[in-house]
Structure 1
Amino acid sequence: MRTRAAAMGWYGQLDATERRTFWACFAGFGLDSMDNSIYALVIPALIATLGLTRPEAGYLATAALVGAAAGGWGAGVAADRIGRIRVLQGTILWVALCTFGAAFATGFVPLALLRFGQGMGYGGEAAVGATLISEVVRPALRGRVASAVSSGYAVGYAGAVALFPIIASLFPQDLGWRVFFAIGLIPAAAVFLIRRFVPESGVYAESATAPRRAGGLDAVLRIFAPAYRRTTLVAATLSTGIFGGNYVMIIWLPTYLRTALGFTVATSAGYLAANIAGSLVGPLLYGQVADRVGRRPAFGAFLLLQALNVSLYVFAAPSLGPLIGLSFALGACQNALASGMTPTFAELFETSLRGNAQGFCLGGGRGFGSVMPTLVGLIAATAPLGTAMGVCALGAYAVAFVATLVLPETTGVELGSVVGRMGTRVSEPMDGDRGLDVRF
């Protein structure tokens, strides 16, 4: 038995509850990712059939990301009040319904409203799922397991890309994108899986029995109290830079391949497949690195690698062979960076406000980073699309790198602890845990 567990790596070390929670979060993340990826794939069809302009396509992407900011924070606050599992179920169902509704949209305004609603659900699911998996998994494995959940993004993206050419071959363009959106109802099935098999976080359950501080607005804004303010702002800035750069490439890459490089749907699918494969591998690699060398060094290294990938992809005009390798590396680094925020942000805050903080930092990053896809669309109206993508993505990753320089190092801490002002130790009797020594 021990040999078998060793052969399975970190997964073999998980107990039954950790495994069920991992697969529930993985499935929710993957199915929500499929719904989110559908939009990126149908942008050319929306432009052609609904008469959308490139700036309007960017606005639709931004609408979802602004929704994710609101939904992430709201869901995080709710998860601190009524539990992780209940909120996770609701957000997954909400994403599915909004994506299904987009199949019946008739123009820019209905699509924008539905994209905003979809973003609210997606941002909420990501924030609450990140909190849940981080609380359930033991510290020695947290970085690897919590990061691996983000590989579900690649599986969902792969599902969307695999379905895209099939739907394109079966339906005319003006109907195909509607069918594609209608398929988005599938994630609703994950709700039943979570309700039946996954228990509430033990860390949360213990915290919920302790006396609470004031509720209402004071509780929501507690992450901006002097003891947490700087940590909150640094984490949100890191998230803004990572998501801003990632969304530039995620939202515009299919269109770049089709319009700037002149690839067909089938050819584009091959390059997107390489990108997806990288997105699957990246979080697994990042988790191994971060658990061994620390969160901050891992962020710095992957940000530099991603900046190099983006520069070569959009400025160096590589031949088709190297472009496949760069597509893989691009996906690996972008999902590695996104996955690293899950355990890091969970380790920065105590249990009673962890969902709140995780929701704000992840959701705020999506919201503030959402200007980047729109900015690409505006710049691309007068400049090459590749240039617009490169400038916006590199600028965003530079912001993230600066935040990394002042990020606390929290690898291996027990959750329930409190991070106070960066670099200090603060005890928190409410959770019954020791204070956290934040190291640089």
Structure 2
Amino acid sequence: MRETPGPGAAAAEAVEIRDPSLSAFYRAMTPPERHTFWACFMGWALDGMDFMIYPLVIGTIIALWKVDPGTAGLAATVTLLASALGGWIAGFVADRIGRVLTLQITILWFSFFSLVCAFVQNFEQLLVARALLGLGFGGEWAAGAVLIGETIRAEYRGRAVGSVQSGWAIGWGLAVLAQAILFSALPPESAWRWMFVIGALPALLVFYLRRHVKEPEVSVATRAAAAASGDRPRIWEIFSGRMLGTTILASLAAAGCQGGYYAITTWVPRFLTTERGLSIVSSTGYLAALIVGSFAGYLVGAWLADRLGRRPLFLIFSLGAIAVILAYTQLPLSNSVLWVLGFPLGFFASGYFSGMGAFLTELYPTRLRGSGQGFCYNFGRGIGALFPALVGYLSAQVGLASAIAIFAAIAYGVFFVAAFALPETRGRVLHADA
């Protein structure tokens, strides 16, 4: 097995960030780069819409099928656990057959199973459908993150990948908009099914991918060299030699940042309708503040990822997220103040994701990039997947607000420590592996 250099080996070759403005990357893009950017942006948006549909209908599921909050949270957990496996597999497959083809397959997969969710007849069937959806959901991120990371030049990678990540907030907003419209026009027992029908829309993106998006040259060259030498990447190679420490720390960072995010986003809609006494429709404005803050956080995080570096972004935002979620859930605030606080909550609980895609892309050599990035991010999803269920079960003992705060603070604390221990990768140049 080839000895793979650790991330520090590539640190000597890094480009200078000459123009730190947020929009510089887009002005400098070639047409193929722009096609890839918009394809990945739309993919993230539709991915976010698909995932956020379930947290928005979780209250309806609890009421209609008489399931307890812990069991209802289990469906979100199962989706994320399956996405962890799907992301690792898809990342490995992307190193074998290419980023674009893997992306197309995963989008079709999770779109189909979103449609299946609309026709289930009981909670057990929904659990299975969400698990199968999760396989494609995790795979889409793994393939798309590597694709955009390899396509964009090192000088602009943080801002470009971070701006793509902001598409998640757009998808979240589309899901909330669909909820407001459908639950106003239809009875709850049918409105939630139409939410999942809308979740099948990402399948249309495949037509754009097939027509406009090309495989990154660095990926093509590396796979050609591996095929010629017979030294193809092995799925366990990211745990060998000097890559082991990187894989462990990056996985912990991904687990912390996602555990906190899922603890918040899965249960805040329920927190607003139960502990704050809002209806589904009246809570839309509170979620809108959260989403606008999230979108702003993604864009600011994208800018900071290139301006300050990946690690400073993670450290600042993890501490900010802890402070805001404690205030949001533990202080005796009026609903109007809570609405205002939704903006910084969304800002800090989302903005650090803008640096994660570029950071993981830069930590691994090209031959292992899909496997390494896919495993670490989706291992984080797998661990983070436990948090929605744990919050649901603990809420029976300490209340939902305290359960959210406890698990979010633990998760962001792990994120801070792991990010502090990892190297800075800003401006790192990516090469084809010989």
C-alpha displacement of 1:264: 1.5
Q: Deviations over 1:260-291 (max 9, x none)?
A: 11111222100111111112111211121121
> Does structure 1 retain, via aligned residues, the 8 Å contact 2:183–2:281?
no
Q: Deviations over 1:239-275 (max 9, x none)?
A: 0000000000111111011111111122210011111
SS at match of 1:405: helix
Alignment partner, residue 435 of structure 1 = none
Q: Deviations over 1:307-326 (max 9, x none)?
A: 11111111113223332232
AA at the equivalent of 1:107? N
Change beyond 3 A, Cα 1:215–1:178? farther
Alignment partner, residue 152 of structure 2 = 137
Alignment partner, residue 67 of structure 1 = 82
> Does structure 2 retain, via aligned residues, the 8 Å contact 1:150–1:335?
no
1:431 aligned onto 2:433: yes
SS at match of 2:110: helix
Alignment partner, residue 326 of structure 1 = 341
1:201 aligned onto 2:203: no
- Higher RCO (C-alpha 8 Å, min separation 6): 2
- Rounded to whole Å, the distance in 1 between the matches of 2:167 and 2:339 is 21
Aligned pairs for 1:140-159 within 5 A: 140-159=155-174
SS at match of 1:266: coil
AA at the equivalent of 1:81? R
AA at the equivalent of 1:273? A
SS at match of 2:235: helix
Alignment partner, residue 94 of structure 1 = 109
- Rounded to whole Å, the distance in 1 between the matches of 2:29 and 2:195 is 36
SS at match of 2:396: coil
SS at match of 2:428: coil
Match of 1:232 among 244, 247, 252: 247
> Does structure 2 retain, via aligned residues, the 8 Å contact 1:56–1:108?
no
Match of 2:394 among 379, 404, 414: 379
Match of 2:203 among 167, 173, 188: 188
Alignment partner, residue 33 of structure 1 = 48
C-alpha displacement of 1:383: 1.9
> Does structure 2 retain, via aligned residues, the 8 Å contact 1:258–1:268?
yes
Alignment partner, residue 168 of structure 1 = 183
Alignment partner, residue 134 of structure 2 = 119
AA at the equivalent of 1:230? G
- Rounded to whole Å, the distance in 1 between the matches of 2:275 and 2:121 is 27
C-alpha displacement of 1:214: 6.5
SS at match of 1:34: helix
Structure 1 stretch displaced more, 195-204 or 79-88: 195-204
TM-score normalised according to structure 2 size: 0.92
Match of 2:27 among 3, 9, 12: 12
Q: Deviations over 1:394-413 (max 9, x none)?
A: 01111111101211111101
- Rounded to whole Å, the distance in 1 between the matches of 2:394 and 2:408 is 13
1:360 aligned onto 2:375: yes
C-alpha displacement of 1:392: 0.6
Aligned pairs for 1:161-310 within 5 A: 161-211=176-226, 219-310=234-325
> Does structure 2 retain, via aligned residues, the 8 Å contact 1:25–1:129?
yes
Structure 1 stretch displaced more, 286-295 or 71-80: 286-295
> Does structure 2 retain, via aligned residues, the 8 Å contact 1:147–1:286?
yes
- Rounded to whole Å, the distance in 2 between the matches of 1:10 and 1:269 is 34
- Rounded to whole Å, the distance in 2 between the matches of 1:214 and 1:282 is 44
TM-score normalised according to structure 1 size: 0.91
1:83 aligned onto 2:85: no
C-alpha displacement of 1:8: 4.9
Q: Deviations over 1:115-158 (max 9, x none)?
A: 11111111111111110101000011000000111111011111
Total equivalences in the alignment: 413
Alignment partner, residue 106 of structure 1 = 121
1:42 aligned onto 2:44: no
SS at match of 2:323: helix
SS at match of 1:412: coil
CA RMSD of aligned residues (A): 1.5
> Does structure 1 retain, via aligned residues, the 8 Å contact 2:24–2:156?
no
SS at match of 2:377: helix
- Rounded to whole Å, the distance in 1 between the matches of 2:304 and 2:352 is 12
SS at match of 1:160: helix
Structure 1 stretch displaced more, 246-255 or 319-328: 319-328
SS at match of 1:267: coil
- Rounded to whole Å, the distance in 2 between the matches of 1:127 and 1:176 is 31
- Rounded to whole Å, the distance in 2 between the matches of 1:305 and 1:325 is 16
C-alpha displacement of 1:330: 1.5
> Does structure 1 retain, via aligned residues, the 8 Å contact 2:184–2:281?
no
SS at match of 2:281: helix
C-alpha displacement of 1:185: 1.5
- Rounded to whole Å, the distance in 2 between the matches of 1:335 and 1:90 is 27
- Rounded to whole Å, the distance in 1 between the matches of 2:392 and 2:269 is 14
- Rounded to whole Å, the distance in 2 between the matches of 1:344 and 1:325 is 31
C-alpha displacement of 1:215: 6.8
4+ residue runs of structure 1 moved beyond 4 angstroms? 212-216
